Homo-oligomer: A and B are copies of this chain.
């Protein structure tokens, strides 16, 4: 992982469809050398995949909500049951086990407020072990997720 690898990663994190020859120019390498480095970053696990970024708004998802979840207990079994249920709920876009106040932080996208109400009632509140939920609505995304900061420090 030298300076060139960092450049490669940050370009690919922005646009992974650019031809290797173009990327090679940007980082100052030949196509084949650049290609080899990319393959090493893939097999080394630094690059975990290539995905299309979808526009939530364009797909009709206009609101985004962060939900803090507190469970009845923090027993291993309670946590496990909760997590199994989370994996099965497509409405939940993301889930973290947290230190501090709440036990879990969920992230949900919904078509509109009515849609969210439905998700809240039919999916979230039915998750096993939930004692308390607090929803926080995102009014506007100031800075969308731009990936892992591959900066040299």
Report which A residues bind B (CB closer than 8 A): 9, 12-17, 44-56, 58-59, 61, 64, 66, 83, 86-87, 90-102, 104-105, 107, 109, 136-151
Contact = CB atoms under 8 A, between A and B. Distances in A.
Contacts of A50: 15-17, 50-53
Given A12-B51, A53-B147, 15 more contacts: A13-B54, A14-B49, A16-B50, A45-B58, A48-B53, A48-B55, A59-B148, A66-B98, A94-B143, A95-B142, A95-B143, A98-B136, A100-B137, A104-B142, A145-B145
A96 B150 contact: no
A8 to B, nearest CB: 9
A96 B47 contact: no
